[in-house]
Amino acid sequence: MFMLSLSSQISALLAEVERPGCFCASGTLRTPLPDLKVEGVGQIAMPLLPVQAEALAAVAERAPYGRGDQTLLDEEVRRAWQLAPSQLKFDGDVWPETMAKIVAQVREELGVKGTIDAELYKMLLYEPGDFFTEHRDTEKSPGMFATLVVVLPSVFEGGALVVRHAEQQERLALRSGSISEVSWGAFYADCRHELEPLTSGHRLCLIYNLVRRSPDGPLGPPDQESPVRQVAAALRAWPQGGGEPQKLLCLLDHAYTLDGLSFSGLKNKDRAVGEVLVKAAAQADCDLFLAMVSIEESGVAEYDDGYGRGRWDEDEDDLEAGEVYERDLRIEGWRSHDGSLRPMGALSFDESELCPPGALQDEKPDELHFMEATGNEGASFTRAYRRAAFVMWPSPRRHAHLISGGPGVSVPHLKALVAGWRAAGSAPQHPQRDEALALCAALIDTWPASEGASMARSWRRGEEKCRSEILDALVALGEPALIERFIDRVMSGDALQEGEIEALLASARSLGWEAAGPALEALVTRQMPAGALACAKLLRAMGDAPEDDAALRRAQLSVASALVAKLPREHRDVPRSNAWGKPDTVISDLVVVLVSALIELDEPEISERAARHITDHPRVFGVDQALIPALCALLEQLPISSLACALVRHLQRACSAWLDARVAQPLEEPSDWTQQTAALKCRCEDCRGLAAFMTSPTEQVWHLRARQDRRDHLESQILNARLDMDCTTSRKGNPHTLVCTKNRRTYKQHLAQRQVDLEHLALMARIP
């Protein structure tokens, strides 16, 4: 028998949920005429007189319209006069009582629960021909969910208000049959609507923002038990694997802004569906959220000639979206049904998880932008769809979803759980602590899988703080076994970061140094040699610990021994502090940090091993590149008395011997201009001429008049061989001439090096 997918089942069940009200409503009310005065005009007669309409227009201003964050005036889009609330005054109790009756009726017909207020936004005057093209209202104040239009007694023709929502449309005439009646129309703020042109007369109306002040009471009509049972049964049958979606995204009927999104602020049918899902999710052990779903696409734009064929006389107005080559699907702005904002970042989703299936396929995008073709690229487009949705998944899958979203989703959730547990008193047995521990365990168990492509991308996208934040959470939760597992399985993986050392030491103190010592030793062993610099900083930080006990000392010795045993031996082992770190600089920093840590540790056997290793591997620990800069830095950072140790003296002797040998070499200025040709590898005719010039003791300048390719070849040979020679091009004549001039560059470099060596020898002499 054919079985509907879970998405299709849920979609069909939710379609049957009883709607608590309509997306728009209208009516008339017989009432005493309002006592209305307008600043600069005076008392307004009802129905509105033409002469007063002219007076009102004289004190009003043209009504603008909004586009994004802009406020614009364009009589091709909107034509009407507006007056601010500050220009209006209602005397007596008649109008407040009238408005209370209208608001009560609006609340009932729109299906709104709780207390709502009507805030006067403006008064509008329409003259013959005035109109407003289709648009959607913005939510102008917190809690605003709908717009109310109240038409005061006036004589006019035309001007119907057309309201559209989804595939539905209502046409509101907003006319009363008596001068003692006012007419009104209300609609949810996300509904698209337009005002048809006024054909005759004048219409005077008041515009109110409807604001929900106390969203109390049930989410929807009370009789929803049957759909609750059916939806809960379908959710309970949600399989734990296979082809069904990992989560469901049930798109809402109305449009919402991120700021206005909440379970208590749901409109119309969304409110009734929300009630069903809250109850059904609780019965079926599913997590339920409200969130914003977005699909952003980019691709190739095509020019169309009206017959589906491309053409060459390109015009941006004729561009159409073609094939999509890039898509980004994400969920963000999470809200719980208790009204709280969930601290989770963007989570990706698959279109198969949308409910109903195929949702958004035929929808108009919320944004669509075309880029015309340029000389290098064809025409392209970008578009975006944004909808609010109920997001559900089985609670047992919660941690898998959080982890799949990367640290931007799971780590804030973990921190919120820990903060909530602390605020509740930090009891050993507490649901939030239990969930936090379960999430940590899932993170640890899943971490080796982060070697896979998708996990690696989500967890290594600039989120270097996540490991230290998880460690901080584990320390707060006080679970030694998980701390040890995290250090062993997670911290030993990717390179240790300097910013993680503080959290690592805090976790070691939480474990106790007796247990932390072996864990840190194993961590250092796995991190070496690529992580030598970070491991040396860890050892130095252990020496700064406030504790002074035998267990800490043993932990320091084990870490130091493991570090020294696996110091870099080959150039390929040189650690890098970051993607742009220079190896020589990193090795120099390593020597500084390691030596200062070993001085503090004061363990002669380990220091001797470190000293021998450093001087026995000059290709890694070069004297000029690493040792001399390191000793100079130590002289600046540490007191002279701290340097009076065998380790520093060993390095100092190696540096001094190197410098003495170089200073002892003779250094005299050359007596002639002869240069050695050994570095010149090419033997072409031009290079043979260059070689003859180089061996001449008297010639200082040589000219080669030749084509550019020959000049370029010769100049590259001079550059690659690092000859003591300057090259310029004389552009007189054709072809041009390459001018080669000998210089004393090497001699001057040796002279400068001699001065630096003498300064360094003086610094070495300061070491006791």
Q: Which residues contact 455 (CB under 8 A, 6 or more apart)?
A: 403, 404, 446, 449
169-186 burial, b at 16+ Cβ within 10 Å, e below that, comes to: ebebebbbeeeebbbbbb
Phi-psi category of 425—alpha, beta or left, where left has phi over 0 and alpha has psi -120 to 50?
left
Beta bridge partners of 726: 741
Work out the pLDDT band at 4, boundaries 50, 70, 90.
low
Q: Identify residue 294 by its one-letter amino acid code.
A: S
Residue 241: which of 386, 394, 391 has the closest Cα? 394
- The DSSP annotation for 275-331 comes to HHHHHHHHHTTEEEEEEEEEEEEEEEEEE--SSS---SS--GGGEEEEEEEEEEEEE
pLDDT digits (tens, 9 = 90+) for 433-449: 998 999 999 888 887 55
The token pair that represents 441 in the structure block: 């365990």
Q: What pLDDT is attached to residue 456?
A: 46
pLDDT digits (tens, 9 = 90+) for 621-657: 999 989 999 999 999 998 988 888 999 999 999 999 9
pLDDT digits (tens, 9 = 90+) for 66-97: 776 677 888 899 999 999 999 999 998 889 99
Q: What pLDDT is attached to residue 592?
A: 94
Torsion of CA 595, 600, 602, 608, to 10 degrees: 0
Spatial separation of the C-alpha atoms in residues 12 and 4, rounded to whole Å: 10
Spatial separation of the C-alpha atoms in residues 334 and 293, rounded to whole Å: 10
Spatial separation of the C-alpha atoms in residues 453 and 466, rounded to whole Å: 18
Spatial separation of the C-alpha atoms in residues 633 and 334, rounded to whole Å: 51
Q: What pLDDT is attached to residue 314?
A: 43
Q: What pLDDT is attached to residue 453?
A: 39
Kindly report the backbone phi and psi dihedral angles of residue 134, in degrees, each rounded to the nearest multiple of 5, phi listed first: -60, 135
User: Could you tell me if 670 and 694 are in contact, meaning their C-beta atoms sit under 8 angstroms apart?
Assistant: no
The segment with the largest mean pLDDT, out of 241-250, 356-365, 406-415, is 406-415
Q: What pLDDT is attached to residue 214?
A: 63
Tell whether the model's pLDDT for residue 458 goes beyond 60: no
Look at residue 14 and give its three-state secondary structure: helix
Q: Where are the domains of the chain?
A: 22-214, 245-257+279-396, 567-669+756-768, 685-743
Spatial separation of the C-alpha atoms in residues 314 and 370, rounded to whole Å: 13
pTM: 0.63
Q: What pLDDT is attached to residue 583?
A: 55
Spatial separation of the C-alpha atoms in residues 114 and 563, rounded to whole Å: 67
pLDDT digits (tens, 9 = 90+) for 281-306: 999 999 999 999 998 888 888 776 55
User: Could you tell me if 253 and 380 are in contact, meaning their C-beta atoms sit under 8 angstroms apart?
Assistant: no
**22-214 belongs to CATH 2.60.120.620:** yes
Spatial separation of the C-alpha atoms in residues 372 and 370, rounded to whole Å: 6
- What's the number of CA atoms in the CB half-sphere (13 Å) around residue 533? 21
> Higher pLDDT residue, 219 or 567?
567
Tell whether the model's pLDDT for residue 35 goes beyond 70: yes
Look at residue 467 and give its three-state secondary structure: helix
The token pair that represents 560 in the structure block: 């130091």
The segment with the largest mean pLDDT, out of 10-24, 250-264, 730-744, is 730-744
